[in-house]
Amino acid sequence: MGQVTLQGRMQAPNPIADDGDEEHFCSTCAFGSVCLGSGVDKVALHDLHCLVEHVGAYRTGDAIFRTGERFNAIYAVRAGAVKTRLVDLEGRELVLGFHLPGELIGLDAIDPETYPCDAIALGEVEVCRFSFPALATLATRAPSIQLELFRRMSRDIGNAALLAGDYSADERLAAFLIVLGKRYADRGFPVHTLTLAMSRGDIANYLRLAAETVSRVLRRFQDRGLIHVDGRHVTIAKPAELFDLARPILQR
């Protein structure tokens, strides 16, 4: 084996890495914005901490929950990325969405009381598990937490509708990259540099395109200097022009 030198490694740009403490949440916590500014009382914050459980690491392909399992918790992604999907009777997969650090999964299970989809780890994933009965009780005491939950649920629904219209492959991929970039940037990751945790097949499935089309369009974007692709790393070189392409979807 090669002699492995760990000295000299930089900290990877993953703002989720810190664990938070009694008074502060992990820096990209799903509920971080609840405390910031809105003055959640210390007791509520403490209670929220108590019902959080760090789970993982999951590895590629592991399920965090599966369709039909009884709903008892929502999850926040701490590190890595998670895809939600349905699998039909013939075994065909339908990718519903991708969830990045700081984002919640399982919200759509609150009503049916069973999980309506699978949540699958893409790469190495860590999550925070919020026991739902406990969270619901806390929410009645801390209205800001309840409000945040409602906001999250409506935003999730908005994201799902994003790609349902009759748009071209270029528009879909441009919107996909812009939205993904914004979601990463919102959580403190470097602006305009993305690491795509999801496979080409997953992206294609989610955007309802052929895998070859995804690559062909990305290559065209790259040839036009809009993006630079290196393995799974994508740099958005001309965000304004990419946004222009995505405008029909993003400014509906």
Chain residues that interact with another protein, rule: CB under 8 A? 1-5, 7-13, 196, 199-203, 211-212, 214-216, 218-219, 222, 229, 231-232, 234
Smallest separation, CB 118 to another protein (Å): 18
* Shorter beta-carbon distance to another protein: residue 12 or 161: 12
Helices (H), 107-238: 132-141, 143-161, 169-186, 200-207, 211-223
State CA 109 to chain mean position distance: 17
Smallest separation, CB 245 to another protein (Å): 17
* Shorter beta-carbon distance to another protein: residue 141 or 232: 232
* Shorter beta-carbon distance to another protein: residue 112 or 201: 201
Q: How far is CA 2 from CA 5, 7, 26, 97, 203, in A?
A: 9, 15, 36, 39, 35
Smallest separation, CB 213 to another protein (Å): 9
* Shorter beta-carbon distance to another protein: residue 9 or 252: 9
Sequence-distant (6+) residues with CB within 8 A of 103 are 30, 76, 77, 183
Dist CA 139 CA 166 (whole Å): 39
Smallest separation, CB 60 to another protein (Å): 10
In a 3-state reduction of DSSP, which class is residue 90?
coil
Smallest separation, CB 36 to another protein (Å): 29
* Shorter beta-carbon distance to another protein: residue 155 or 228: 228
187: left (phi over 0), alpha (psi -120 to 50) or beta: alpha
Strand order in the sheet with 233-236: 193-195, 233-236, 227-230
* Shorter beta-carbon distance to another protein: residue 105 or 203: 203
Dist CA 67 CA 39 (whole Å): 37
* Shorter beta-carbon distance to another protein: residue 143 or 190: 190
Dist CA 224 CA 181 (whole Å): 19
Smallest separation, CB 216 to another protein (Å): 8
Q: Is the peptide bond between 57 and the residue preceding it cis, with omega within 30 degrees of 0?
A: yes
Smallest separation, CB 5 to another protein (Å): 6
Dihedral of the alpha carbons of 247, 93, 72, 24, in degrees to the nearest 10: -40
